[in-house]
Amino acid sequence: MVLLKNMNKAKVISEEQIFKKYSIIVEGAIEDGGKTFTREKLVRPDAVCVLLYNTDTESVILVKQHRYPIQRKNVNGYILEAVAGKIDKGEKPIDAMTREVVEEVGYKIKLKNIIECWPAFTTPGYSTERIYFYLAKVSNRDKVSDGGGCESENENIEVIEMPYLIFKNNMDCFDDLKTRMLAYEAHYKKLFDTKPKKNKPKKNKPKDNKQYTIKM
């Protein structure tokens, strides 16, 4: 084990809210090492993210939607990602996750089929947001609606059910970091391991194991 020098001397002297609309920006005065300087943070509610696997169709359920912050030259703003959303005030992370799944892709997850992974700060350099990560299995019987997101939140989500072999071969192609992290976790925890189905043809399984290109 490498012992690092104790650097825990930074102290927040004061904080001031400098912007408030959909998000809140707070500026803090920090004292550290005899110097005083300012830092800004984006105050965001915590969030959830879950990678879903349909055991009947042997496919990974993703969403495709427009994300304004990433749109730039040569990037149209559309991205494939795992189901995700913010945690409402007073809501438990697991309840937020199951709610978001119903809203976005129309599946109602059974609690026994949920694998809790870890909470993590994904952008600690500027945001307060912490994301709770999950894996989960569903079946065709769990489908309760078409999904598509909440109209009141101006969500226009396309549900993508990708055969897991294509998903597996394209894990390094996902631009969304949380989706890529859960992809590796899914293989580590053997989310895609299922017992063979007897006398029942498999659905949506690719004929080969070649590389595919994911296009937006």
Report the DSSP beta bridge partners of residue 30. Answer: 12, 37
Overall average pLDDT of the 191-198 stretch: 68
Report the chain's mean pLDDT, rounded to a whole number.
Answer: 90
Instruction: State the pLDDT at residue 153.
Output: 80
Strand-strand pairing, 59-66 and 158-163: antiparallel
Q: What are the start-end ranges of the E strands in 44-181?
A: 47-54, 59-66, 78-81, 83-86, 114-121, 130-138, 158-163
pLDDT on residue 8: 73
Domain at 47-188, CATH class:
alpha beta
d(CA 216, CA 213): 10
**At 188, which helix (H) or strand (E)?**
helix 177-188
The structure tokens listed for 184 are 């590796």
Task: Look up the pTM and report it.
Answer: 0.86
- The model's pLDDT over 65-95, given as tens digits with 9 standing for 90+, comes to 999 999 999 999 999 999 999 999 999 999 9
| Residue 178 DSSP SS3 | helix
Q: Does residue 96 carry a pLDDT above 70?
A: yes
Across the range 142-147, mean pLDDT stands at 96
- β-partners of residue 47 are 86, 131
- What residue ranges do the domains of the chain occupy? 12-43, 47-188
- Render pLDDT for 151-178 as a digit per residue (tens, 0 to 9): 888 888 999 999 999 999 999 999 999 9
Which residues are CB-neighbours of 144 under 8 A, at least 6 positions away?
Answer: 102, 106, 107, 108
Q: Residue 21: exposed, middle, or buried by beta-carbon count in 10 A (0-12, 13-18, 19+)?
A: exposed
Give the single-character DSSP code of 122: S
pLDDT of residue 206: 47
Residue 106 has pLDDT above 80, yes or no: yes
Catalytically annotated residues: 153
